[in-house]
Chains A and B, each alone.
Chain A
Amino acid sequence: MLARLSRAFFYRHPAQVLLALIGIAAGVAVVTGVALLRGALVESLDAVSAELVGEQALVVRHPSGRLDVDTYARLVRQPGAPDFVPVLRAAVRSDGQRLEVVGVDPFSGIRTLTGADGTGLSTALFNESGGIPSAVVSASTLELLDSGLDSVLTLDESGRQVRVTAVIRGRPGLDRRLLMDISRAQAMLDERGWVSELLAPPESEAWLRANLGDELLLVTASGQRASARQLTAGMRANLTAMSLLALATGLFVVYSVLSFLMVQRRRTFGLLRALGMTHGRLARLLIGEVLVIAAFGALAGLVASTVLSDQLLRLIAAPVAEVYGQLPPAATNPTPWLYAGIWLAALAAAVAVTVPVMREALQIPPGRLVRSFVVHVLPARKVLALTVLLVTSGAAWVALDARLVAALGGLFLVLAGVIVAIPMIGFGLVRGLARRTATTLPGRALRLLETARGRLSPALAALSLALALAIGMGMMILGFRAAVGDWVTRLLQADMYVSLESRSLAREQVDRLASLEGVEAFSSVRRTRLADGTTLTAYDLPARAWSGFELLGEAPEAYRQFSAGDAVLVSEPLARRQGLAIGDIVELPTPEGPARVPIAAVFRDYSSEQGFVAVSGDLYRRWFDDHAVDSVGLYLADGMTPAELGRRIEGLALGGVAQWITPAGIRRESLAVFDRTFRVSWALAMLVGLIALVALTSALLAQGLERSREHATLRALGLSPARLFGLVTVQSAGLTAVALATALPLAVLIHYALSLLIQPRAFGWSLPAGLPPAEPVLWVVPVALVLGTLTGLYPAWRIGRRPMIEHLRAGR
């Protein structure tokens, strides 16, 4: 009997039930999708070794990054030696794109690579025609380079070429890689006698541990995973933060839809209670309803997320392989436990969000419920008190606790506080507008809208929050992108940068570059990983390059101390991670024993989440006696162009392939990497946008459908269909406009919270404070207004279509 009561109501309000289902499904989908994605990122492996030998591949490396063939031969000759796969890897550039040559022996134990047409690729690696060595690339790499099968790729400015003889499909770990026969690669790269690493099957771990000796390093799959975990920690934290925000919005939409379902039936509840239904039974009835909706919604969300997460994974596989050199598994790995857990959590969350609504239905005396259609709203004083309480406690949490968790929790509290106040502000705006236009149709429409405040409040708050999140996330991503662009531009003070592919430049080579005609000054960089895992970067900088460092905080003495070798600089992520500040002492392991140096300044850096220590070249050479550098920046005299100097550099015969790039090129590449990395964030922002859409639809359906009796009364009293249409349009446009008006300041708040709190605590870097970018606003505002108005027209159309008598009868 009671079940029939629920069922009948749901049948009559399919749109609202559908919206509740979508709200829950979207929330569950986002959380499950991100949980699966996080799992996949933790499982990430070195891209190349995973693709070539398998996920459990072992990797043997030399600390210097290069291994000579004699060492390899000595290993292979030992009894019981496994099947090694020697690999040569070298960074190259073609068509402005950064690529990696991966030389392998097609007959050693690599996984069978098959081409797009299903044939084996071994032969393709060997067929050399016209002296141009062949290379096998993935389909997406080919697309990236905008070339086709059998095309010839020119590498760097050296004019060396490879011919694409076959295409592999899938295999994101081999994206941006030119797979070549190792001996041809060695010849081409002038690396005869050297390999970069040896891959070995997992069974050989015991043998390798016994036979490698002190000189060589063994990296296991689990070791790789651990480093992948560390590498991708920031990205995962960021994903989690975003997904939680999306979930919160989803839950809030569910709350607004469910609360609307409740409010609509207050009268029925009052009647049932008046007829003698006890609190307990009514509560059970309502919880039962919510559970049924949540159960189906969450199920749909789980199904959607399973599809979604594999899509998302594909989306991030390429940037993860590129930025971190890690390859996430090809598919996510959902477990029944995860699904069951999320499903149950969704049910619990849905019940939890309906409790406040239910309490109202249960506590108000039934007599008043039966009589009154007016939902009472909290008095302004209480709203303000609650807002102040939530906002201050959120702010206090953020201020007192430096962890990411606190930033997230604090942000949630602050958002909750603001949301509580939004209906008050929003309907205050409506009232103001209605006053100004009191005697016109829009004025009347707004006045009627304002009187429905109690019922529309949750919907308005949900809509405002969802819009604010979509806009705020968009602002953060674009703001971050601009910051990275500015940072790269500022950092790159030289006119061009020169490096040797896959090896460092010796001092003598640097001197030859520096003494070229047209070079006014030069800088150089050397990067090393210390025994304790810290990355150390040594800079030789002319005075004018110093402005490339954007110092955080006041440090007037920094340059003098740094160049004199009295102090070091640390990048912002490292400073945050280890809690370092100006004046602190860092201890660095050097060949001469631990060196203790003070920190002169902290500088902005987006190149590494782990962060690094910057030292002057002199100090570095004093410690390590290493005179090589990784790249040289050249400052050109007036009238000299990078292209012209590039030609002269080619003529130098440096004994390796020199590659050069201008700051503009590096900037372009960095932003391309950024865009690929932030695809997932965009996807999440879009999802939040979708949730905003659900919120919008639910808010407007709530206000339109539910008032059909009121609208029919107006029609009966003499409001023409056209003017009713106008009235409803003004109401939906007005509600959307008010939601946008309250969403914009909230969006700016979210933007700054993400940029200045979440990003620093997730990745370790902060974004310079500045005005938020306006593009997301320009996108969202018109779309929301148009959609909002259109959605609002549906109820008006429905009223027009159904005889008004029915609406009047239906209300009884």
Chain B
Amino acid sequence: MADDCDDVCHDDNRDDCRDERQPVLRARGVTRTYHDGNQDIRVLDSVDLEVSAGEKLAITGESGSGKSTFLHLAAGMDLPDAGTMELLGEHVNRLAEPERTRFRARHIGLVFQDYNLIESLSAGENIELVGWLTGRPASVDDIRRLAAELGIDELLGRRPDQLSGGQQQRVAIARALIHQPSLVLADEPTGSLDQASAEQVMQVLSQSVDARGCALVLVTHSETAAARCDRRVRLRAGKLEAT
């Protein structure tokens, strides 16, 4: 276990010394341009945004407006062409790739639009995976408790292909929450679910986030999902506008 730990653990105590009132996420002038042949598509054009601890923010916008792009930038999975992305006071785009990855593993929980569960691992193993990556394996009890909270404690032994879409998404949410992140980034977590499942998933997501006091950035098309959030912004023509 020791060898898993050492490259992850040295930023362990940062959380404690952070200023509580400091925003969890602060985007300043974030710009992202894709090059398509000789044509430049400016998907994000100098976007500013702040999300504070415990806050739940919904981002809406038309398909192709750049919501996922913004989320990827926020997670440090992609880098802006201009502007800064601050997470917990850390300029993620100034970190070197390994540090950025460690930072993400430690502080961010990701829920993908299409679950992205590792197909060959069981549901339980998918949840365990993050603990292994961060070098802080979650205890069996923690996993069981979280799974029970999400209503999937009976399904931990199953492979993703043996689960329904809603069940898979709940496994993905468990995976995003198990390591107690400060910020959960969820990209249309209910996008591929029916009304009832979507409702259920949103409920457990917002409850879990509330219970842990972490911030949530939720990309969604759904009115009901957005309604569960404290604040809503809309992406249009590369700019964020409050609604």
Contact = CB atoms under 8 A, between A and B. Distances in A.
Given A452-B120, A714-B133, A717-B129, A441 B4 contact: yes
Interface in A792-812: 803-805, 808, 811-812
Contacts of B137: 439
Contacts of A715: 77, 101
Query: Most A CB atoms within 10 A — which of B77, B134, B175?
Result: B77
Given A371-B161, A721-B98, A805-B77, A710 B133 contact: no
Contacts of A444: 132
Contacts of A451: 118, 120-121
B91 interface: no
A716 B7 contact: no
Contacts of A713: 112, 116, 118
Contact of A441 (B3, B78, B101): B3
B1 interface: yes
A440 interface: yes
A720 interface: yes
B101 A710 contact: no
B177 interface: no
A560 interface: no
A718 interface: yes
A373 B115 CA distance: 14
A652 interface: no
B102 A720 contact: yes
A440 B120 contact: no
Contacts, number: 84
Residue with the highest number of chain B CB atoms closer than 10 Å, among A440, A710, A719, A812: A719
Contacts of B161: 368, 371-374
B235 interface: no
A722 interface: yes
Interface in B72-91: 72, 75, 77-78
Given A716-B110, A717-B129, A722 B98 contact: yes
B33 to A, nearest CB: 14
Contacts of A440: 1, 3-4
Contact of A719 (B75, B77, B105, B114): B105
B120 A374 contact: yes
Interface string B112-127: 1010101111000000
B67 interface: no
A752 to B, nearest CB: 38
A722 B106 CA distance: 17
B133 A718 contact: yes
A448 interface: yes
A492 B39 CA distance: 84
Contacts of B105: 717-719
Interface in A681-731: 709-710, 713-723
Contact of A716 (B77, B102, B120): B77
Interface string A427-451: 0000000000001110010001001
Counting chain A CB atoms within 10 Å of each CB, the highest count among B98, B112, B116, B120 belongs to: B120
Nearest to B119: A373
Given A374-B119, A451-B120, A717 B130 contact: yes
Contacts of B77: 715-716, 804-805
Interface in A357-390: 368, 371-374
B239 to A, nearest CB: 22
A209 B201 CA distance: 102
Nearest to B159: A374
B50 interface: no
Contacts of A714: 118, 129, 133
Contact of A448 (B104, B120, B133): B120
A718 B120 CA distance: 19
Interface string B124-148: 0000011011100100000000000
B97 interface: yes
Given A439-B4, A710-B118, A717-B175, A803 B75 contact: no
B130 A718 contact: yes
A720 B119 contact: no
A61 to B, nearest CB: 74
Interface string B207-225: 0000000000000000000
B110 A717 contact: yes
Given A451-B120, A718-B106, A721-B98, A439 B1 contact: yes
A710 B119 contact: yes
Contact of A373 (B106, B112, B120): B120
A714 B132 CA distance: 11
Interface string A448-477: 100110000000000000000000000000
A374 B121 CA distance: 10
B96 to A, nearest CB: 10
A808 to B, nearest CB: 7
Contacts of A805: 72, 77-78
A447 to B, nearest CB: 8
A590 to B, nearest CB: 77
B75 A716 contact: yes
A718 B112 contact: no
Interface in B39-59: none
A719 B101 contact: yes
Given A440-B3, A718-B130, A805-B72, A812 B104 contact: no
A722 B121 CA distance: 22
Nearest to B105: A718
Contacts of A709: 116
A714 B116 CA distance: 10
A699 B106 CA distance: 34
B4 to A, nearest CB: 6
Nearest to B3: A440
Nearest to B106: A718
Nearest to A371: B161
B101 A803 contact: no
A629 B44 CA distance: 101
B237 to A, nearest CB: 22
Nearest to A444: B132
A723 B7 CA distance: 10
B185 to A, nearest CB: 10
Contacts of B3: 440-441
Contacts of B118: 448, 451, 710, 713-714
A804 B106 CA distance: 18
A717 B97 CA distance: 13
Contacts of B112: 713, 716, 808
B121 A718 contact: no
A29 B4 CA distance: 49
Given A440-B3, A716-B110, A805-B72, A721 B101 contact: yes
Contacts of B98: 720-722
Residue of A374, A439, A713 with most chain B CB atoms under a 10 A cut-off: A713
A368 B159 CA distance: 13
B113 to A, nearest CB: 9
Contacts of A373: 119-120, 161
A566 B207 CA distance: 104
Contact of B101 (A448, A718, A808): A718
Given A440-B1, A719-B101, 17 more contacts: A372-B119, A373-B119, A374-B119, A439-B4, A440-B3, A451-B121, A713-B112, A714-B133, A717-B104, A717-B110, A717-B175, A720-B7, A720-B97, A720-B101, A721-B101, A805-B77, A812-B114
Interface of B: 1, 3-4, 7, 72, 75, 77-78, 97-98, 101-102, 104-106, 110, 112, 114, 116, 118-121, 129-130, 132-134, 137, 159, 161, 175
Nearest 10 A/B pairs, CB to CB: A718-B105, A451-B120, A373-B119, A372-B161, A720-B101, A720-B98, A718-B133, A713-B116, A371-B161, A439-B1
24 contacts: A372-B119, A374-B119, A374-B159, A439-B4, A439-B132, A440-B3, A441-B4, A709-B116, A710-B119, A713-B118, A714-B118, A714-B129, A715-B77, A717-B104, A717-B175, A718-B101, A718-B106, A719-B105, A720-B98, A720-B102, A721-B98, A721-B101, A804-B77, A808-B116
